[in-house]
Amino acid sequence: MDVLLQDLSRAISAYPDSLSCFVSIILVVGYLILLPLAKFFYRRSHSTDKAENVSGSVLDKKYTHIPWWVSFVPLPLMLLAVNFSLLFFWLPSTDRGKTMMVKYLLYKGSFGGIIISSDFSRRLYTYFFSPGSQLFLGILFVLFVAWYVHDKIAAKYAAIRRLELDGYFFLYPAIIIITMFHIFPVFYSLALSMHRASAMDMFKNFVFIQHYKDLMSDRTFWISLRNTAWFAFGSVPLTIGCSLFIAVLLNRKIRGLSFYRTIYFLPVITSVAAISLVWRWIYHPQRGVLNQLLQYVGLADSSNPMNWLYDPRGIFGLIVNWFASLTGGGEGIVGAILYLPHEAFVWIGQLMAADPYGVLCGPSVAITAVIVMSVWKGLGYNVIIFLAGLQNIPNDLYDAARIDGAGVYSQFRNITWPLLSPTTYFVLIMSTIASFQVFAQIFMLYAGNATDGSRVVVYYLFEKGFQTFNFGYASALAYILFLIIFSMTYIQRRFIGSKVHYD
């Protein structure tokens, strides 16, 4: 018991210097200062409906009192949220202190006379001090406080009586699940990103934004971000273009239409592990189908086969070097003519070689191979989406266009493409988000051994979080990725969403 009291006194003595105490003081002082002003402006803005009684005094018929949210009622809930970590995540500093706390609670809960077995105590100890149970109990406590406050103040305020909270209790199971697995991890990850966390101590040292500073000078992060950007810029246009082309073909009345639609959708429902095994065989340097096909048509050398999955060279750089080799070495007038572009290609190749992160060289051969596989796997899903959009376009528009003499291209440009813009916009947004979160293909293709030529941001996050157990750095990386995806989505909504035709 002495250990428990010492740990508790240590936690209480450390509370005045904590961030929770500072924010709690600001909340209380802010309420004392701003609440009278809020009440004044609220009554002033809602005092237009007035009537005079017989004696001539002015009465406010509608707003004799302020609502509950312009009062001190939300303050306890806000303080509870601010001090949530202290109330529900405080643990004694030693295992002995934790065990004594549980035994003390069990002793008091068993009327002091029933001896609880050590095995039962150990199980309850494991339950009470697990993060999931603490969060669950905390949410239940907050919900109980909300219900109790509502029940007590409903008799006083008519506006509260109109808020029937009983129906919301049916939503609490879903709210608890969403809070535990969606909302809480967001803030938990933000707290982790500001600590130097390890597998043994998640909140070891508070470093504030040091991880974010380290990311700015992390060469591996910039290489993985380059690969992710090239993957997104390569896979999204290919996915939209190929899906739309196939959807237009499948939208026609042809024999065996259901069979073709099923064939194109099969890769979507196929396991990534099975698909990765097939594509690893396709990309194999010696026994791969792709290299054998290129050798058969004379585009590859059997003595120096392409190592598709592990080739870090950029596609643009390979093309420039190939053109440079074709234009050099000639003699006479033809050689003099070809020597001019040869010098240009050599200069461009030198410029690409001087790029420290290889951005100008384009996507690596490895990332290009992953792009081809990813486009093939996700093609069927987008084809179905585009087919649904195409079938919502009235045929009367095409009949009228054909009567006016419009061709196939004119019909697509003036009818199909504008009316298909909501579907295209949806596919663009979802494909962009999915492309920046690519992980499964990389992990399965490389069996956990990705190189700089194929490492993407989420895979680098996986390496930092679950291989080196640097959870703080991985959380900072996750927030950087979130900001990138959020910025890309906002830019698309801001500049492309306004051009979408919904009517």
Tens of each residue's pLDDT in the chain, 503 residues = 565 566 667 767 777 777 778 888 888 888 888 777 777 777 776 654 444 444 444 444 444 455 655 666 677 777 777 776 665 445 555 555 555 555 555 555 444 444 445 555 556 656 666 666 666 777 777 777 777 766 666 666 665 555 555 566 677 778 778 887 888 888 888 888 888 876 676 777 888 888 999 999 899 999 999 999 999 999 999 999 999 999 988 888 778 878 888 888 888 888 888 898 899 889 888 888 888 888 888 777 777 788 888 888 888 877 877 777 766 655 544 455 555 576 777 777 777 777 766 777 888 888 999 999 999 998 989 999 999 899 888 888 888 988 888 888 898 888 888 889 899 999 999 999 999 999 988 988 887 788 888 899 999 999 998 888 888 899 999 999 999 999 999 999 888 888 887 76
One-letter amino acid of 305:
P
Residue count (the chain) = 503
Check residue 188 and give left, alpha or beta (phi > 0: left; psi -120 to 50: alpha): alpha
The pLDDT value recorded for residue 100 is 58
Compute the distance between CA of residue 143 and CA of residue 166 in angstroms, rounded to an integer.
12
Compute the distance between CA of residue 91 and CA of residue 12 in angstroms, rounded to an integer.
12
The pLDDT value recorded for residue 124 is 61
Q: Token match 């050599």: residue? A: 346
**Token representation of residue 111:** 């009327």
The pLDDT value recorded for residue 59 is 40
The pLDDT value recorded for residue 303 is 75
Cβ–Cβ under 8 Å, residues 483 and 397:
no
CA dihedral 117, 122, 125, 130 (to 10 degrees): -150
Cβ–Cβ under 8 Å, residues 107 and 126:
no
Cβ–Cβ under 8 Å, residues 227 and 314:
no
The pLDDT value recorded for residue 67 is 63
CA–CA distances in Å: residue 295 to residues 285, 287, 301, 368: 12, 12, 6, 19
Cβ–Cβ under 8 Å, residues 453 and 224:
no
Compute the distance between CA of residue 93 and CA of residue 8 in angstroms, rounded to an integer.
9
pTM of the model: 0.66
**Token representation of residue 122:** 């150990």
Compute the distance between CA of residue 67 and CA of residue 448 in angstroms, rounded to an integer.
58
Check residue 332 and give left, alpha or beta (phi > 0: left; psi -120 to 50: alpha): left
The pLDDT value recorded for residue 479 is 92
Cβ neighbours of residue 345 closer than 8 Å, sequence gap 6 or more: 320, 321, 323, 324, 327
Compute the distance between CA of residue 403 and CA of residue 413 in angstroms, rounded to an integer.
16
Cβ–Cβ under 8 Å, residues 312 and 452:
yes
Q: Say how many C-beta atoms besides its own lie within 10 A of residue 303's C-beta.
A: 5
CA dihedral 415, 416, 418, 424 (to 10 degrees): 180
Cβ–Cβ under 8 Å, residues 79 and 24:
yes
The pLDDT value recorded for residue 7 is 63
Please give the angle made by the CA atoms of 486, 492 and 495, to the nearest 5 degrees: 135
Calculate the CA 324 to chain-centre distance: 42
